A and B are shown apart, each in its own frame.
Chain A
Amino acid sequence: MTSRLEFWQGNIASAEGALAAGCRFFGGYPITPSTEVAEHMAVKLPKKGGVFIQMEDELASIASVIGAAWTGARAMTATSGPGFSLMMENIGYAVMTETPCVIVNVQRGGPSTGQPTMAAQGDMMQCRFGSHGDYAIIALCPASVQEMYDLTVKAFNLADRFRVPVFLMADEVIGHMRERIIVPETVEHTGRPAFVAGTPPFKPAAGSLIPGFPEFGKGYGTHVTGLTHDERGYPCATNPGLHATLVKRLVDKIESATEELADFDVINPDAEQVFIAYGAPVRTVQQVIADHKGKNIGFLRIRTVWPFPSHALALFKKAKRFIVPELNLGQIAREIERHTNIPVMSVPKLGGDLHTPAELSGIWEAKA
């Protein structure tokens, strides 16, 4: 058997990607527009010897995922805005305890219950900063059904490697649309950093910022706590230096790998007008470029949004303006402004409609 062609919905592709990656635990709660991920896992996981459990709410969903992850299982959940808000508490716990897990957020219009069936990208800052305290995570943004699959696989590998929650920040359009997808025969599988028995469980090996993973049930006797802990995992919450060292390591292990984690495409790097997009707006920019064949339209198309690949901006050496269409009021446009002196034009869109190619062409033509 080789790779095969399928015609799938984005959410199904994410679930299939998870199964291919070896995900064997899904704890979830129904919520539009992500529910198909849970439904598909409910059908498929038991047949693969895995566990699907519908928990009583999203607080419990992510908690069960973290518990399962400590037994060594690859574990995930899927949700949307309101559920994502509930998960923030235990996402912080996963960060603090360095628990590998994957969280799919098929974004819908917010705040609050908002627009359950409409696309948005309003949770991009929440996924970065939504839990309390300083920390860093990894967030991937798919712009096709193919990427719902590929980036879910990648999310598991990164979660294991960096021992951090990894977010697949999709949106309703990408989650619900159906298109062709090439399903590979096999996928890459990166394991968790190996734990050496008898060593302090939260002490990274020399030259690394990521400790080995002391899976439960092997007799390591690891104490895992969300309290500030020392390298033995023991609570040590009133030691200022120890807390600072721990939190800096949790941030550094992600941010120091920014260039390695970066995943973006550069189109027409000598253009003066440069679009920057992730998720569904990528599709509109691609249409604009297709509609203007031979025109020098720059495009930075980002898949790894967090940590933000700021070094990519400098690849557009003649850029006079970055144009950033987003399904929010400019969350990532502000992040881009932080990294460049070149003017950044945010093109926000709320309500669930995508930007039209004509809208974005008009912006480009006005200065072209």
Chain B
Amino acid sequence: MSFEDWFRQDRLPHIYCAGCGNGTIINCTLAAVDSMGWKKEDTVFVSGIGCSSRAPGYIVTDSLHTTHGRALAFATGVKMANPKLHVVVFTGDGDLAAIGGNHFIHACRRNIDLTVVCMNNQIYGMTGGQGSPTTPRGCLSTTTPYGCAEPAFDLSELAIAAGANYVSRWTSYHVKELERAVKAGLETPGFSFIEALVQCPTNFGRRNKFRQVADQIEYLKAHSLLKAKRDRMLEQGEAIPEDMYIVGELMRRSRPAMGLPPAEAKP
């Protein structure tokens, strides 16, 4: 199979806006899934509500497009009831970090054997561009018309603190790195979290001085700071600029996990 074989051709055209970053993330994820040699009947995609969460509807496997914020709780039921299934969750910043925040930290704590790909566009895209828990301070949205006054959540740090076995963050610019990160997540037993910062030209970019789609991708690239470089800077006592996103593999460990397939559960 190639990653294209994982798409439902009869669902096209998709709902994503021109220039949306989500398609890039879906492609990277499916390429990683395909490289695992998984079969359609062994794999389930689960999602909540939002632009990101429409992704499972375009994939040929069994898929559960659930309620807002609850994808991880549904996925927990699927995985615990049948640990042989590979369960991948697509989510977004509003779905995961706002309404689904509690499910997120508890899924990380349980370290349940899921791979979660979060398309963090820093905005509620589907409902027309409201501020989310990851909207950067000062950014404009329909509900932060004078600039977002709230500090943003760092989703990857949250996943690490809550106990996830694998955590990586990249952007829609870093397609090769992202595919490798998702694959590493799929390979790692326990909870894997891959955060992908993505452009949303329709509802974030156009209110925040990114005139072209590429402007926002360029911004994400320019404001990405490799974890290794960040660590060197810290060692040398250099200040880390506040507007940088730390990217790379941020955590890989083997805490006890739940929902492992029978073979892995019995070492």
Answer whether A and B are interacting partners. yes
Interface set of A (CB-CB < 8 Å, partner B): 24-25, 27, 51, 53, 55-57, 59-61, 63-73, 75, 89-90, 93, 214, 216-227, 232, 234-235
Residues of B with C-beta under 8 A to A68? 77-78, 80-81
Residues of B with C-beta under 8 A to A73? 81-82
Residues of B with C-beta under 8 A to A57? 102
Given the contacts A71-B85, A93-B67, A25 and B78 also touching, CB distance less than 8 Å: no
Which residue of chain A has its CB nearest to the CB of B68?
A89
**B106 contacts A56, CB within 8 Å?**
yes
Interchain Cβ contacts under 8 Å between A and B, 15 examples:
A63-B73, A63-B74, A64-B73, A68-B81, A71-B81, A71-B82, A72-B82, A73-B82, A216-B62, A216-B85, A221-B61, A222-B62, A224-B65, A235-B54, A235-B57
Interface of B is mostly: helix
**A60 contacts B81, CB within 8 Å?**
no
B187 near A: Cβ within 8 Å?
A: no
Residues of B with C-beta under 8 A to A27? 76-77
**B74 contacts A66, CB within 8 Å?**
yes
Which residue of chain B has its CB nearest to the CB of A235?
B57
Which residue of chain B has its CB nearest to the CB of A24?
B81
Give the complex CA separation of A218 and B41 in angstroms: 6
Which residue of chain B has its CB nearest to the CB of A201?
B62
Give the complex CA separation of A121 and B103 in angstroms: 31
Give the complex CA separation of A55 and B102 in angstroms: 11
Size of B's binding interface in residues, CB under 8 A: 36
**A67 contacts B46, CB within 8 Å?**
yes
The 6 residue pairs across chains A and B that have the minimum distance between CB atoms: A67-B77, A64-B77, A219-B41, A63-B73, A60-B73, A68-B81
Contact among B42, B75, B106 for A67, CB-based, below 8 A: B75
Residue of A24, A53, A214 with most partner-chain B CB within 10 A: A53
**B73 contacts A59, CB within 8 Å?**
yes
Give the complex CA separation of A219 and B41 in angstroms: 4
Residues of B with C-beta under 8 A to A65? 77
**A225 contacts B65, CB within 8 Å?**
yes
**A55 contacts B76, CB within 8 Å?**
yes
Residues of B with C-beta under 8 A to A51? 80-81
Give the complex CA separation of A72 and B78 in angstroms: 10
Contact among B39, B46, B61, B65 for A226, CB-based, below 8 A: B65
Give the complex CA separation of A223 and B64 in angstroms: 6
B258 to chain A, nearest CB (A): 8
Which residue of chain B has its CB nearest to the CB of A59?
B70
**A63 contacts B77, CB within 8 Å?**
yes
B211 near A: Cβ within 8 Å?
A: no
A59 to chain B, nearest CB (A): 6
B162 to chain A, nearest CB (A): 11
A251 to chain B, nearest CB (A): 21
B11 near A: Cβ within 8 Å?
A: yes
Residues of B with C-beta under 8 A to A56? 73, 102-103, 106
Which residue of chain A has its CB nearest to the CB of B109?
A56
Residues of A with C-beta under 8 A to B57? 223, 225, 234-235
Contact among B42, B46, B77, B106 for A217, CB-based, below 8 A: B42
